[in-house]
Amino acid sequence: MIRILIVLLLLGAALGAGWLLRDRWSGRDTADIAADTTVVWEPITTAGAERARRSIESLGQQGSRVFVTVSAGDLASHIFLALSRKLPPSAEDVEAAVIGDRMHVRATVKTSDFGGAGSLGALGGFVAEREIMQFGGAFRIIRPALAEFGVTDLRLGSLAVPEPLIPRLIRRFSTGARPQGVADNGLPLEVPAYLADVRITGGQVVLYRDAR
């Protein structure tokens, strides 16, 4: 998933510097988030993925409570370690954080993994050999066993993709059929059928089961 998002970003860069360098964000700008020392970034780890897996599975047990709380790092670990083969070869220091009602994920990558600065045309001068890629968004349950991560912001180094452009990039990149109901800016995720809602609040991610 992380590689998909970075490639989307690079495709967006090819569409023109005018759009990419404008700060049209809903909510906080990603550059401000990166500089905010009060934001707690958690590393992606196998231990975190296991903790998240146990928490999610506990919701499916008979007589369990209707919700569990997990950290951003644990949930991101659970999701992204399962997709590790889609990470760029150079991806390092993958971290996640909750800011407001969004989850953000960031990683350091080599731009050469995606054709280097030359692939960005006029924007090549703004991209170093290694850059921090960051994206943020929220979760939505579409129907039993299907959720999406709605991407609302993307950044590679100092290059910001405005939110209105993200669905266009996803349409350009995506191949094959997308599950019905997935939003234009959404990345589909398989989830347990009993998972009914995912809410981001108070610096944590709260998972709810179907109480019926």
Domain ranges of the chain: 2-209
* Residue 172 phi, psi (nearest 5): -70, -35
Q: Give the model confidence (pLDDT) of 37-96 as tens digits.
A: 688 899 999 999 999 999 999 999 988 889 999 999 999 899 877 666 555 567 788 899
Q: What is the DSSP letter of 111?
A: G
Q: What is the DSSP letter of 21?
A: T
Q: Strands, DSSP E only, in the chain?
A: 42-43, 67-70, 92-99, 102-110, 130-143, 146-156, 159-161, 186-190, 195-201, 204-209
Q: pTM of the entire structure?
A: 0.74
Q: Give the model confidence (pLDDT) of 25-37 as tens digits.
A: 334 455 555 556 6
What is the spatial distance between Cα 163 and Cα 28, in angstroms, rounded to a whole number? 12
